[in-house]
Amino acid sequence: MSRIEALFARKNPVFIGFTVAGDPGIEASFGVAKTMIDAGADLLEIAAPYSDPVADGPVIERAHVRALRAGTTTGDVFALVRRVREHAPATPLVLFTYHNIIHRRGADRFFAEAAASGADGVLIVDLPAEESDEVAPYAARHGVDRIALIAPTTSPERQRTILKDASGFVYLISLEGVTGERDRLPPGLAGLVGAVREKTDLPLAVGFGVSRPEHVRTVVAAGANGVIVGSALVRLIEEHAGDEAAMHAGLRTAIAALRGGFALDPEPDMLRRERVEG
């Protein structure tokens, strides 16, 4: 059983944190990852910095820029994953990346290095299902899960195509648009979770826009197995980039508060309205 499978088998729901490797600096990013895990991130997504992160909003875009300006390379990303793995042997680690990074390095080499560094899964944001054969054999060869992405606009037929070769867990995008904090999550989230649940036995985790404890509870009440928080945590890194003590304190406080959403009212106002109106 993989670390991802073992986590979802023993824990429901799980809290998934996100950070960009090399943000705000190569060495500092290890401290960020360590603090997130120690503060309660059950699984950590580590993004390889990229010059054109089209799925990301301004907060995470700026994190990619900071990491690239710090000189972060793909080799540095694997070195960071290796250090995090040594710190947290049981914590699942997922690389969040764009296909060009894999293409330039070579898919076989990339997945071999990912596995050797201790990564459990890879999420490729911009690789369409029709082109997944470029990476699927190498991910399977090296035992690395390929995390699928499904959006609210994904048709049922396309959901089935995407899920056919998915493993680890499924990343459900909660809303139309890019990453970033929102005041509220859109209605219909429970419907998306339910529709995908009918097509797969893999755990479902929801991200994009999740930034408050009440959002966490909404995601859990919708039936998801995991909650993914990115921009709200990356913003704290940006705000305290010159004060690492404040940065780590802010991350610990934020993760504790967000995890507190697991214990909130199991039927938030948004879901209550969906039930009554639907």
Residue 171 near residue 147, CB atoms below 8 Å: yes
Q: Cα separation of 262 and 227, whole Å? A: 10
- Give domain limits for the chain: 3-277
pLDDT for residue 54: 87
Helix (H) or strand (E) holding 107: helix 107-117
To 10 degrees, what angle do helices 244-259 and 26-39 make?
A: 30
Residue 184: its pLDDT value, please?
80
Query: What does DSSP say about strands 145-146 and 170-173: parallel, antiparallel, or unpaired?
Result: unpaired
pLDDT in tens, 74-119: 999 999 999 999 999 999 999 999 999 999 999 999 999 999 999 9
Could you tell me what percent of the chain has a pLDDT over 70?
95
- CATH top class, domain 3-277: alpha beta
DSSP per-residue codes, 42-99: SEEEEEPP-S--TT--HHHHHHHHHHHHTT--HHHHHHHHHHHHHH-TTS-EEEEE-H
- Report pLDDT for 273: 46
Residue positions annotated with a catalytic role: 45, 56
Q: What is the mean pLDDT of residues 134-141?
A: 96
Query: What are the tens digits of pLDDT across the range 1-55?
Result: 899 999 999 999 999 999 999 999 999 999 999 999 999 999 999 999 999 998 8
Q: What is the pLDDT of residues 216-270, one digit of tens each?
A: 999 999 999 999 999 999 999 999 998 999 999 999 999 999 999 998 765 544 4
pLDDT tens by residue, 146-184: 999 999 999 999 999 999 989 999 999 998 778 878 878
pTM of this structure: 0.92
